[in-house]
Amino acid sequence: MITFAVFFFFAAIAVIFAATVVLHRNPVVGALSLVASFFALAVMYVLLEAPFLAALQVIVYAGAIMVLFLFVIMLLNLQHQEEPRTRPVQQFLGYTSSAAFGLALIYYLAKFGVTQLPDGPFVSDARTVGIRMFEAYIFPFEMVSILLLAAIVGALLLSARTGATGVAPLSAGTTTENLAAPHDAAPRIEVAP
Amino acid sequence: MHGIDWVDVGLSVLKIAIVLGAMLNVTPIMVWVERRGSALIQDRPGPNRVGPFGLFQSFADAFKFILKEDMLPAKANKILYTIAPMFGLIPALTTIAVVPWGRPFTLPGGRLFEPIIANVNIGILLIFALASMGVYGIVMAGWASANKYSLFGGIRASAQMISYELSLTLAAVSVLLAAGSLSLTDVVWRQTGSFVLFNVIKLPAWNIFSPAMWMAFIVFFVSGFAETNRMPFDFAEADAELVAGYHTEYSSMKFALFFMSEYMAMATMSALVTTLFLGGWDIPWYTEPATWVGFALSVLSFVTKVSIILFIFVWVRWTIPRLKYDLLMKLGWKVFLPMAVVNIVIVALFIARGWL
């Protein structure tokens, strides 16, 4: 009974904040709402007897990735700007396609009866997850690592384009550094000997 | 629901009351220690008018906070501006729940009293999950204030948190690998007893003395300063550059909440350093009896260690100047992160060879 109450409370929170992410026109509020939504999702994992997964969900998504998102949004959008309402056709297409996807999801969930958990005690501690990941799912795991490595190399390539073009590196760290200490960012005047 | 164990409920409430009371009292005590400590270091008297040695200065400060007018900037986002201080306080208050603060002992009724609020098997992950939420209080406050100094404070806090949380977590992974468990109770039990170095020196079996883990201790401790926004890394506040950083616009009790959460986060971090590396409640060169005497002594030992770490926090704040931003980033990504990763490999090697 109490499980149901907790479930519906946090399900409502997850849905409301997910809707806020899409509908609110301020990107910072959107990102903070996404954090709340992720947090409510972690509670779902706890209810599914997977506390390990719940902790990882909060640490990785709500804690690390969204902080990075917020950092970038705040850095690029310093003047509290709100998104201008433009492109009505795309907006219409976006709403209809996501509505269609949602309906399809509900239809198939109802059709195949995926509303009941399978039986049996669930073990999802760190040991079990680790063993499964490095035995049964070692290939996908390594593929994901390579994918991430490719992304890192790509980011490095984009951010380290100096010298040839003379453009200053546009990495996040450099930008804040410039913002934090304007006098350091001023062009250096070479004094002729 | 049938048969609620009322004794169990009572003990839980008692434990929560003890820990919550201790945490809430950390702030006034630490404010006094900080002000007198800074005075000691800078060779000046410090607050010495209210009560003996200025001990009641914190109460005077608290009254001042309560009586001050609560200002709301005209352009602020009202909802976020109001909930930001709470977001800062909640993680600081809740993370202490999974830290064991004494040796378990048997009560007269034959019941085992475990001095820990929530003995969950994912203990340390819970701490990191909640602690990673703490930065949102700062970021929210910085953004919602509609003040550019506050905004810079928030941006800096998020950048710093991303950089240092990684090395903090990886440094803790070394300890967890050695303990073979995520529960902090197991981590402490593994550090009881002692080991002998070179057949001569008898050292307590704390992780800090282990040849495999002293590096992780350095990384964890210094990253802990960054995680709690303390002095060499207080970029979110940086009063020389950003007025008061993320809480420039805050006044009255809202400001006091930020103040409290800073000191509570410090206390939690000290408790965590103690638990992970300094043997938790273990008393060196002494085997505590499994009675209430052993319990009392172990609690005393835990509190002493936490107090020493807290004093080091104060000491460092008034001794080491703030790092430059690029140095901060360099230290986080190019020194501590590799150190933490290398340390994991070292610990794994030690475990594989059976040395740990």
- Rounded to two decimals, what is the model's pTM? 0.81
> From CA A19, how far away is CA B340, in angstroms rounded?
40
- Answer whether A41 touches B (CB < 8 Å): no
Q: In whole angstroms, what separates CA B103 from the centre of its chain?
A: 20
**Residue of B1, B155, B162, B322 to mutate, interface with A, max A Cβ within 10 Å:** B155
Contact A146, A153 (CB under 8 A): no
- Taking the mean position of all CA atoms in its chain, how far away is CA B264? 7
Q: Is residue B105 situated within a structural domain?
A: yes
pLDDT value at position A14?
92
* pLDDT tens readout for residues B260-274: 888 888 999 999 999
Residues of chain A with pLDDT under 70: 77-85, 114-117, 120, 161-193
Instruction: Please say whether the beta carbons of B125 and B210 come within 8 A.
Output: no
Quote the DSSP letter at residue A164: S
Provide the domain limits for residue B174.
71-352
Handedness of CA B191, B197, B202, B208 (dihedral sign): negative
Rg of chain A taking only CA atoms, in angstroms? 23
pLDDT for position A139: 92
Tokens 């760190």 sit at which residue?
A126
> Is A180 in CB contact (< 8 Å) with chain B?
yes
Q: What's the pLDDT score for residue A103? A: 93
Does some domain include residue B243?
A: yes
**Per-residue pLDDT, A83:** 61
pLDDT at B211 over 50: yes
Q: Do A64 and B162 touch (CB under 8 A)?
A: yes
**Residue B340 exposure: Cα atoms within 13 Å on the Cβ side:** 26
Cα B136 to Cα B272: distance, rounded to the nearest angstrom: 21
Residue B260 included in any domain: yes
**Of A64, A78, A125, which is closest to B151 when you measure between CB atoms?**
A78
Query: For residue A161, what are the CA distances in angstroms to A117, A149, A164, B7?
Result: 52, 19, 7, 67
B204 in helix, strand or coil? strand
B interface residues, A as partner, C-beta within 8 Å: 75, 77, 80, 120-122, 125-126, 128-130, 132-133, 135-136, 139-140, 142-143, 146, 148, 151-152, 154-156, 158-159, 161-162, 165-166, 169, 182, 235, 241, 324-326, 329
Q: In the predicted model, is pLDDT for residue B277 greater than 80?
A: yes
A78 touches chain B (CB under 8 A): yes
ipTM of the complex: 0.77
pLDDT higher than threshold 80 for residue B287: no
Residue A121 CA to residue B241 CA, distance in Å, equals 56
Residue B280 has pLDDT above 70, yes or no: yes
Q: What is the mean pLDDT of chain B?
A: 84
- Helix, strand or coil, per DSSP, at residue B251: coil
B63 located within any domain: no
Q: Are B134 and B92 in contact (CB under 8 A)?
A: yes
Total number of domains constituting chain B: 1
| Per-residue tokens: B252 | 């009255």
- At residue A82, the pLDDT reads 62
Q: Tell me, what DSSP letter sits at residue A192?
A: P
Whether residue B48 is contained in a domain is answered as no
Whether A32 sits inside 8 A of B132 (CB atoms) is no
pLDDT for residue A84: 65
**What letter represents residue A106's amino acid?**
I
Q: Which of residues 119-138 of A touch B (CB under 8 A)?
A: 125-126
pLDDT digit string, tens, across residues B134-191:
888 888 888 888 778 888 888 888 888 888 888 888 888 888 888 888 888 888 888 8
Q: Say which residue the tokens 């998102």 belong to.
A: A69
pLDDT of residue B309: 92
Residue B224 phi/psi, 5° resolution? Answer: -65, -35
Question: Is B325 in contact with A177 (Cβ distance < 8 A)?
Answer: yes
Q: How far apart are CA B74 and CA B249, in angstroms?
A: 11
| Number of residues in chain B | 356
Bridge-partner residues for B196, per DSSP? Answer: B202
Judging by beta carbons within 10 Å of its beta carbon (0-12, 13-18, 19+), is residue B340 exposed, middle or buried?
A: buried
pLDDT computed for residue A77 by the predictor? 66
pLDDT at A78: 57
- Inside any domain, residue B146: yes
Please give the Cα distance from B334 to B344 (Å, whole number). 16
Mean predicted confidence (pLDDT) in B208-229: 86
End-to-end CA distance of chain A: 82
Query: With pLDDT > 70 as the criterion, what percentage of chain B qualifies?
Result: 99
pLDDT in tens, B93-131: 888 888 888 888 888 777 788 888 888 778 888 888 888
Residue B342: predicted pLDDT: 92
* Residue at B62 is within a domain: no
Task: Tell me the pLDDT tens digit for each residue of B238-252.
Answer: 677 777 777 777 877
| Interchain contact A80–B (C-beta under 8 A) | yes
Tens digits of residue pLDDT in A114-129: 666 677 677 777 788 8
Q: In chain A, which residue's Cα lies nearest the Cα of B146?
A: A80
Q: How confident is the model at residue B3 (pLDDT cuts 50, 70, 90)?
A: low
The conformation of residue A49, written as its DSSP 8-state character, comes to T
Q: b/e for B264-302, b at 16 or more Cβ within 10 A?
A: bbbbbbbbbbbbbbbbbbbbeeeebeeeeebbebbbebb
pLDDT on residue A108 = 87
Count of residues in chain A: 193
Taking the C-alpha atoms of residue B27 and residue A64, their distance in angstroms, rounded to an integer, is: 28
The answer to whether residue B18 is domain-embedded is no
